[in-house]
Amino acid sequence: MAQISMAQVKELRERTQAGLNDCKSALEEAGGDIEKAVEIILKKGLAKSAQRAGKVASEGVVAARLAADGKSGVLVEVNIQTDFAARNPEFLGFVDEVLAAAEAAPDGVELGTGKLEATRQALVGKLGENITIRRWRRVAVTGPGLVQSYVHMGGKVGVLVAVGTAEAAAAARPEVAEFAENVAMQAAAMAPLFLDLGEVPEAIKAKQAEIFDAQLAEEGKPEKVRPKIIEGKIQKWLKEACLREQQSVIDTDKTVDQLRAELSRTIGSAVELAAFARFERGEGIEKPQGPDFADEVAKMAGGG
Q: What is the pLDDT of residues 158-173, one digit of tens each?
A: 999 999 999 999 999 9
* Confidence band, pLDDT 50/70/90 cuts, at residue 299: low
Return the closest-CA partner of residue 152 out of 140, 144, 160.
160
Do 188 and 152 meet the contact criterion of CB atoms below 8 Å apart? yes
Report the percentage of the chain scoring pLDDT > 90: 69
pLDDT digits (tens, 9 = 90+) for 216-225: 999 999 999 9
Q: Which pLDDT score is estimated for 292?
A: 58
- Provide mean pLDDT across the span 276-299: 74
Amino acid identity for residue 93 in this structure: G
pTM value > 0.85: no
Using the predicted structure, report yes or no on whether residue 51 has a pLDDT greater than 50. no
- For position 276, what pLDDT does the model report? 98
In this predicted model, what pLDDT tens digit does every residue of 254-268 receive, in sequence order? 999 999 999 999 999
Q: What long-range pairs does 172-179 form, CB within 8 A, spacing at least 24?
A: 173/267, 175/263, 175/266, 175/267, 176/146, 176/263, 176/267, 176/271, 177/146, 177/148, 179/259, 179/260, 179/263, 179/271
C-alpha of 148 from chain center? 17
Q: How confident is the model at residue 128 (pLDDT cuts 50, 70, 90)?
A: confident
In angstroms, the Cα distances linking 3 to 22, 26, 258, 265 are 16, 13, 66, 73
pLDDT digits (tens, 9 = 90+) for 70-123: 999 999 999 999 988 999 999 999 999 999 999 999 998 999 888 999 999 999
Mean pLDDT of the chain: 89
Percent of the chain with pLDDT over 70: 88
